[in-house]
C-alpha cells in the first residue's frame, strides 16, 4: 500500500474570502447562510476552505457561460429580422 501525502486544507476567514471575491463580508455570510458557498463554523465564526472558494468561482463561471449561450440562442439572426433574400 502506498501512503499518499495529503496537504492540509487551508481555511479562510470571511473577510479573506470577501477580498478574494471582491465583495463584502456581509455578502459572503449571505452566501454561506444560503448554502451557496460551503463553509464551517469554528467557535461561532465562519471559515471557508480555499478549494471551496475556487469551486464556487468555477460554478459561477459555468452559470454565466450557460446564460450567455442561452441569450445567444435567443437572439434573432439577420435573416430572422429582415427575411432571407
- The predicted-structure confidence for 28-46, as pLDDT tens digits, reads as follows 999 999 999 999 999 999 9
Looking at the domain assignment, is residue 17 inside a domain?
yes
User: What CATH number should be reported for the domain holding residue 41?
Assistant: 1.10.1660
Q: What's the count of helices (H) and strands (E) in the chain, helices before strands?
A: 4, 3
pTM listed for this prediction: 0.71
For 69, the domain range is 11-75
Q: Show Cβ contacts of residue 28 under 8 Å, excluding neighbours closer than 6 positions.
A: 14, 17, 18, 21, 37, 46, 48
Domain count of the fold of the chain:
1
Tens-place pLDDT, residues 67-78 = 888 887 777 776
pLDDT at residue 84 in the model: 64
Looking at the domain assignment, is residue 81 inside a domain?
no
Amino acid at each position: 500500500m502506498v501512503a499518499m501525502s495529503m496537504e492540509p486544507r487551508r481555511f479562510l476567514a470571511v473577510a479573506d474570502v470577501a477580498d478574494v471575491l471582491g465583495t463584502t463580508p456581509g455578502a459572503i455570510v449571505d452566501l454561506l447562510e444560503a448554502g451557496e458557498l460551503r463553509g464551517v463554523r469554528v467557535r461561532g465564526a465562519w471559515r471557508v476552505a480555499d478549494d471551496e472558494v475556487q469551486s464556487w468561482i468555477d460554478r459561477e463561471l459555468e452559470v454565466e457561460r450557460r446564460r450567455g449561450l442561452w441569450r445567444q440562442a435567443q437572439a434573432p439572426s439577420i435573416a430572422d429580422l429582415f427575411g432571407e433574400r
